[in-house]
Amino acid sequence: MALLSVTSPHIHKPGNTGGFMRQVLYATVPGLFMLTYFFGFGTLINIALAVGIALVCETLILKLRNKPVAFYLNDYSAVVTAVLLALAIPPTAPWWLTLIGTTFAIVVAKHLYGGLGMNPFNPAMVGYVLLLISFPKEMTTWLPAAGLDNTVTAPGIPDSLGMAFLGMNPDALSGATPLDAFKTYAGQPEVLDSNSILHGVFAGFGWEWVNVGFLLGGAYLLWRKIITWHIPAGMLLALFLLSGFFNTAVDADNYPGFLHHLLSGGTMLGAFFIATDPVTAATSNRGKILYGVLIGVLTYVIRTWGGYPDAVAFSVLLMNLAAPTLDYYTQPRTYGHRKPNKGLAKSD
Amino acid sequence: MSRHIWDFHGGIHPPENKKQSSETSIRWAGLPERLVVPVQQHIGAPAKPCVNVGDPVLKGQKLAEAAGFVSLPVHAPTSGTVAAIELRPIQHPSGMDALCVEITPDGQDEWIEHQGVGDYETLGKQEILNRIRDAGIAGMGGAGFPSVVKLGVKPDQKIKTLILNAVECEPYITADDRLMRERADEIVQGLQIVAWLIEPEEILIGIEDNKPHAIAAMQKATAGTQCEVVVVPTKYPSGGEKQLIHLLTGKEVRSGGIPADVGVVCHNTGTAYAIKRAIMDGEPLISRITTLTGDCVAEKGNYEVLMGTPVGWLLQQAGVKATDLHRLIMGGPMMGFAVHNMAVPVVKTTNCLLVPNSKEFPDPVPEQPCIRCGSCAQVCPVNLLPQQLYWFAKTKEFDKAAHFNLADCIECGACSYVCPSNIPLVQYYRFAKGEIRTQQQEQAKADHARQRFEARQARLAREEEEKERKRQERAKAAAAKQAEKKAAPAAKAAPASAAGAVDEADALAKLQTAAASTMKRYKEAQKALLTAEKNGSEHLEALQKKVEQLKAKADAAKEAFTTAKNAQGQTADAKPKPAAASKDDPFAALKQASAEDFAAYKEAEKALAAAEASGAEDVAALQQRVTELKARSDASKAAMKEARAREKEQIQAKNAAADPVKAAKLEVAKQQVLLKKASKALQAAKDSDAGADDALESNVKAAEQALEAAEHALKKIEEEQA
Ligand code: SF4
Ligand code: SF4
């Protein structure tokens, strides 16, 4: 009889980090479905490619670092990073784009900082921004959404494979995203009014549904308690208030309405899947709200006055930088203390 | 009867698993063949055994006496003989053995004479408190704090709310539940005794809503009393004292404070029951209800168990097969301790023995990296940031952990329970808390040592200053003497060179003394070093350094002395017997005697200090010697002073003869001194209440007159000269 010596607590809630991460993967399904519906199989190919590369990179690095490979692969964190990155890469992307982005994300942004839990920056977004800066053309070549003007159809599997692996030039198929379109024609109400890309059911054509898809996924994550409401609520609220204010109070021709902002580009993916990456976000509830709000503000500012049509990735990375400081200044009030601690000053 | 229930942050809902043990009534566990009663089953000082091996004891007889205010006695759980009083394994996280009294029962179970009182009010509160203490009642829910300490309300404290903690929020445990179902009346009686003692405005009984039978029983038992049953929602850890207080009153006990600070006192169900038995039946706390549960237990349920019953024996009674044993937990699954030794006894705080099989409680899986998911922070009932605490504990940044209020963690385990990375967070916190405690203790020790050291340094510096001052005085005196000698070369027939020789001899003597005293200091330091080495003191290095320094000094002094002596020897050859002069000089002799006496005194004093420091036994003798030497030194000093004063006067007189103004001035000064002395004496007499002597007063007057006369004379002379 050998009695096991374990300190309390002796019971544990079922589930582990791998399960946690798998929930995130499940939650991407609606968004992924919409992306595939409107833009063909490119994103699915990206995902398959990215996951494969990520697993290879992760395995090699874990071997190099002398860590048990199976144990760490089981936390699914590499898969999540790969999927989130692949979701953000255009469906027209050639294979090497995904390769570079994923490798950089896993090797540099994650493992060179010490691996899971130690990375200060969201690895998927580091990979994304690297690609965006290095290959701006490839990274901004999107397709028009299927069904646009009743003429566009999503590329079939051969076209998607061709663009990914055979160097097929996507220019023939490509088209602007709603964010691009507004940026290009801002201040010209006639063009804006007649551009069908900007007029789906409530926002940009096609993209509105992609965002609704990710919103649904986010709701699932909230329901499963994988994330809390603080960061998405903060980010979406900030975006809503800013775009609403500039659209109604300043100038509707230069500043699109809140639905355009909330349902275009990477807003929902960013709010529920990227900004909520726990490793790199603020941790206390108050800190998370502030963190989300600031991401929303930065996103709006860069989209509106910056050089890039979308800005979620930049905003998230910038706020990653600020998260530790936010944490110091937003500690919760501990039971039995009058005031919360602020910074490193001890309050009573 | 609906009362507002506050909520606390966080909390979890682990599977309750209470049904397995809550549905059968309390059974008598039986009498084991030996009982091992630890003398410490409570927080505070261990009790002192008051029986001897071989003594026959009766059930309820005191085995060990309380040792101090925060301490409790323990009693014999049955009649029999004391088989041993020795160290035995007990359930303690450190795994250390503790003093236990082993009893071999005689099977008679014969009570010591005891008697309860029904109308306890007639006895007075102090008597009741004493009886509760004598019954050895400790908090039976958690840590085992002596109940009497919580009951003795300070006169300036008003307790508004008395809370009976019947929450029992830990999964698996049903001891309080069963006790309430079966003995609600007695619990309420006990509660009323407590209420009578502390006179609260309201009495609340907090029960989780997962115990409907207990709630019904308690409601029935409290009907018509001022006790109110308050049902709280099931959530772990509602039964934490501070959490329950918050739930029922909305008050927060300040960090580091106790419930009484906010006018609340909390007692556990089992404790109230034990108080009732102690007061109204006269029975000390010798048994308790313990839940035996877990899938390895065939006969799950609650047992009334004698304190000191070995766990292994008890499990056998409940049908646990030794071969099935995989894990044994004393307490609940959230906060209980793993038991390693089947011989450990049941004690006053043992509310549950949990024997799960490996399917029920799978082995812990290896921890994964923290992904900062924040689940832990969402469930922490104290609203901490467990992930940050974990981080700081892991990287040993204990000051930061403390800053993030690690001390407020109640080790409830909620954070570990939900952590998806399976990090044993509480283990990290225990580690960090332990480290911080050790650091603080070491800091306190170091501070203490530093203070002692500084005080010693200050004393030495003072002494050194004193010495320096005396040395200077002496030097001045010597200078004056020389001046005199030079001023009156005619007075002495000795040739001028003799004066030089005297000086030289003086210097030599001084050097010698210096050399001797440094040597002495060096020897002393060496001695101190030796004792320090023997005692393993911490200042060894400092001492060693000092010894080296002193040795260097001593060597230097010796060398200086030798060179000086040699040099003098050469001059001495040239000039015959110069040293004789110093011998002829009575003042020099006196001075030397005084210096020697003083040195002897100082040395003795030092020896005394050293002896005191090292705790030697001859301190008293040394002290006496020091006193004697001091007296002698004082005497010789006085003699020297007198001689010096006389000499001065002579010199002054001589000088005065040459200069009338000077003489007059001197006279004035002298009279001033006399006056001062006289008035001082008068003042002293007045202060000491000796009755202001007329004689003294007239002395003062006379002195005043004399001074006036002297001043007058001085003026006259000055005028004349002008
Ligand atoms: S629950 Fe575990 S993994 Fe999540 S933040 Fe807390 S310690 Fe880290
Ligand atoms: S063990 Fe400490 S840190 Fe963890 S939940 Fe309980 S009180 Fe909070």
Is A20 within a domain? yes
How far is Cα of residue A45 from the mean position of the Cα atoms in its chain?
Answer: 18
Task: Look up residue B258 and give its amino acid.
Answer: I
Asked whether residue A342 is domain-assigned, the answer is no
Round to whole Å and give the CA distance between B61 and B700: 79
Rounded-to-integer distance, Cα B199 and Cα A235, Å: 54
How many whole angstroms from B395 Cα to the centroid of ligand 1? Answer: 16
Question: Using the beta-carbon criterion (under 8 Å), do B338 and A7 form an inter-chain contact?
Answer: yes
What per-residue string of b and e applies to B5-26 under the rule 16 or more CB within 10 Å gives b? Answer: eeebbbbbebebbbebbbeeeb
Mean pLDDT of chain B: 82
Query: How far is the C-alpha of B48 from the C-alpha of B380, rounded, in Å?
Result: 40
d(CA B374, CA B546): 57
The per-residue pLDDT for A33 is 95
In chain B, what residues touch A117 (CB-CB under 8 Å)?
369-372
Domain count, chain A: 2
On whether residue B2 sits in a domain, the answer given is: no
Would you state the pLDDT for residue B555? 73
Looking at the structure, tell me whether residues B319 and B383 fall in a common domain. no
Residues A169 and A39 in one domain: yes
The token duo for B200 is 């609260």
**Average pLDDT of B170-183?**
93
Residue of B9, B173, B385 best to disrupt the A interface, most CBs of A under 10 A: B385
Co-location of A171 and A272 in the same domain: no
Instruction: Provide the residue range defining the domain that includes A319.
Output: 187-330
Dist. CA B237–CA B422, nearest whole Å: 20
| B558 and B676 co-located in one domain | no
Q: How many CB atoms lie within 10 A of CB A300?
A: 24
- Cβ(B426) – ligand 2 distance below 6 Å: yes
State the nearest Cα–Cα gap between A17 and chain B, in angstroms. Answer: 5
Q: Which of A248, A257, A169 is nearest to A208 (CA)?
A: A257
Q: What is the mean pLDDT of residues B9-29?
A: 90
Query: For B488-499, what is each residue's pLDDT tens digit?
Result: 655 444 444 544
A70 touches chain B (CB under 8 A): no
Q: How far apart are CA A150 and CA A171, in angstroms?
A: 20
DSSP state of B202: E
**Packed helices B496-535 and B425-487: angle between N→C axes, nearest 10 degrees:** 160
Highest mean pLDDT, choosing among A165-179, B69-83, B612-626:
B69-83
Residues A83, A204: one domain? Answer: no
| Same structural domain, B149 and B123 | yes
| pLDDT top residue among B655 and A270 | A270
CA B204 to chain centre: 37
What is the rounded distance in angstroms from the CA atom of residue B594 to the CA atom of residue B708? Answer: 37
Is residue B651 included in any domain, yes or no?
A: no
Q: Indicate if the pLDDT at residue B645 is higher than 70.
A: yes
| Cα separation, B633 vs B367, whole angstroms | 76
Q: Which of B354, B386, B419 finishes a domain?
A: B354
Domain match, B627 and B704 both: no
How far is the CA of B324 from the CAs of B295, B319, B353, B381, in angstroms?
Answer: 10, 11, 15, 36
Q: Are residues B314 and B451 in the same domain?
A: no
Cross-chain CB nearest to A334 (options B12, B383, B416): B383
Strand order in the sheet with B161-165: B227-232, B202-208, B161-165, B264-268
Q: What φ, ψ does residue B140 adopt, rounded to 5°? A: -100, 5
Which of B384, B425, B431 for mutating ligand 2's site (highest number of atoms within 8 Å of CB)?
B384
Q: Which residue of A has its CA nearest to B356?
A: A10
B133 in the same domain as B52: yes
Residues A163 and A194 in one domain: no
Quote the domain boundaries for residue B547. Answer: 487-643
In a domain, B343, yes or no: yes
User: Nearest-CA distance from A283 to chain B in Å?
Assistant: 6
CA distance A168 to A158: 10
Residues 160-199 of A with CB under 8 A from B: none
Residue B10 lies in a domain: no
CA dihedral sign, ordered A257, A260, A263, A265: negative
Contact across the interface for B422 and A341, Cβ inside 8 Å: no
For residues A20 and A168, state if they share a domain. Answer: yes
Crossing angle for the helix pair B619-658 and B660-687, nearest 10 degrees? 150
Examine the fold and report which residue of B476, B501, B524 is the final residue of a domain before the chain moves on: B476
Residues B445 and B539: their CA atoms lie apart, in Å, by 13
A127 occurs within a structural domain: yes
Return the CATH number at B304.
Answer: 3.40.50.11540
B412 lines ligand 1 (CB under 6 A): no
Angle between helices B269-280 and B125-134 (to 10 degrees): 110
Report pLDDT digits (tens) over A2-30: 555 567 888 888 888 888 899 999 999 99
A63 & A140 share domain: yes
B613 closest CA partner among B550, B549, B538, B531: B531
Q: Which of residues 149-178 of B touch A (CB under 8 A)?
A: 171
Chain A residue numbers touching B419 (CB-CB < 8 A): 12
CB proximity under 8 Å: A 313-342 to B: 327, 331-337, 341
Across all residues in chain A, what is the average pLDDT?
87
- Closest approach of B417 to chain A, Cα-based (Å): 5
Any CB–CB contact under 8 A between B316 and chain A?
Answer: no
Rounded to whole angstroms, how far apart are CA atoms B132 and B284? 8
Integer Cα distance of B47 and B64 in angstroms: 5
Cβ-based neighbour number of residue B684 at 10 Å: 11
* Cα distance between residue B180 and residue B166, in whole Å: 8
pLDDT score for B277: 92
Quickly state the pLDDT bin for A1 (edges 50, 70, 90).
very low
**Residue B249: which of B197, B192, B194, B203 has the closest Cα?**
B203
Q: Nearest residue of A to residue B253 by CA position?
A: A336
**Number of CB pairs < 8 Å for A and B?**
168
Co-location of B495 and B604 in the same domain: yes
Lowest pLDDT segment from A228-237, B505-514, B574-583: B574-583
Tell me whether residues B408 and A334 touch, CB distance under 8 A.
yes
Q: How far is CA B721 from the centre of its chain?
A: 77
Do A209 and A158 fall within a single domain? no
The closest of B624, B427, B433, B596 to B520, measured between CA atoms, is B596
How many residues in total does chain A contain?
Answer: 348
DSSP secondary structure code for residue B97 in this structure: E
pLDDT tens-digit map of A275-295: 999 899 998 889 999 999 999
pLDDT score at B445: 85
Top pLDDT among B447 and B231 is at B231
- The tens digit of pLDDT for each residue in A63-110 reads 998 888 888 888 899 999 999 999 999 998 899 999 999 999 999 999
Question: Is B331–A8 a contact, with Cβ atoms under 8 angstroms apart?
Answer: yes
Q: Is residue A252 part of a domain?
A: yes
Per-residue pLDDT tens for B190-199? 999 999 998 8
Closest CB to B385 among A228, A332, A337 = A332
Long-range contacts of range B114-119, CB-CB < 8 Å, 24 or more positions apart?
B114/B60, B114/B281, B114/B282, B114/B283, B115/B282, B116/B279, B116/B280, B116/B281, B116/B282, B116/B283, B117/B279, B117/B280, B117/B282, B118/B280
Question: Is B427 a member of any domain?
Answer: yes
**For residue A293, what pLDDT is reported?**
96
DSSP for A117-155?
TT-SS-HHHHHHHHHHHH-HHHHT---PPTTGGGT----
Please report whether residue A286 resides in a domain: yes
The domain total for chain B is: 4
- State in Å: Cα B6 to ligand 1 middle: 27
In a domain, B5, yes or no: no
% of residues, chain B, pLDDT over 70 = 82
Angle made by CA atoms A157, A158, A163, in degrees to the nearest 5: 100
Compute the nearest-CA separation of B619 from chain A (Å): 49
Residue B501 and residue B597 in one domain:
yes
Interface list for B 584-623 with A (CB within 8 A): none
* B243 and B188 assigned to the same domain: yes
> What does each C-alpha distance from B616 to A245, B316, B608, B610, B619 come to in angstroms?
86, 58, 9, 8, 6
Q: Which of residues 265-294 of A touch B (CB under 8 A)?
A: 278-279, 281, 283-285, 288
Same domain, yes or no: A171 and A101: yes
Residue of B371, B416, B428 to mutate, ligand 1, most atoms within 8 A of C-beta: B371
Q: Do residues B408 and B451 both lie within one domain?
A: yes
Q: What is the model's pLDDT at position B582?
A: 46
Residue partners of B381: CB distance under 8 A and separation at least 6: A335, B8, B9, B10, B11, B237, B240, B243, B410, B412, B414
> Does B692 score more than 60 pLDDT?
no
Q: Which one, of A93, A81, A79, lies nearest residue A42 by Cα?
A: A93
| B359 occurs within a structural domain | no
The verdict on residue A281 lying in a domain is yes
Q: A154 and A267: one domain?
A: no
Residue B408 covered by a domain = yes
Instruction: Specify whether the CB–CB gap between B299 and B318 falls below 8 A.
Output: yes
Chain B: residue whose CA lies nearest to A333: B383
Nearest chain B residue to A20, by CA: B420
Are residues A220 and A305 both part of a single domain?
yes
Residue B540 has pLDDT above 60, yes or no: no
Contact between A341 and B404 using a beta-carbon 8 Å cutoff: yes
> Could you count the other beta carbons within 10 Å of the beta carbon of residue A185?
19
ipTM score for this prediction: 0.83
Return the pLDDT at B415. Answer: 94
pLDDT at B577: 44
Asked if A103 and A224 sit in the same domain, the reply is: no
Q: How far apart are CA A315 and CA A298, in angstroms?
A: 5
Token pair in block for residue B36: 């091992």
Final residue before a domain boundary, out of B643, B678, B697 = B643
B322 vs A contacts (CB less than 8 Å): 1
- Shortest CA distance to B87 belongs to which of B103, B96, B73, B98? B98
Distance of CA B693 to the CA centre of its chain: 53
Does any ligand 2 atom lie closer than 6 A to the CB of residue B643?
no
For residue A52, CA distances in Å to A47, A78, A79, A86, B421 come to 8, 10, 9, 11, 24
Residue B430 has pLDDT above 80, yes or no: yes
**Same domain, yes or no, for A95 and A162?**
yes
For the cut 60, the answer to whether the pLDDT of residue B297 exceeds it is: yes
Give the predicted TM-score (pTM) of the model.
0.70
Q: Note whether B290 and B353 are within 8 A (CB).
A: yes
Chain A residues inside the 8 Å CB shell of B336: 8, 10
Shared-domain flag, residues B685 and B574:
no
Instruction: Answer yes or no: do B104 and B181 share one domain.
Output: yes
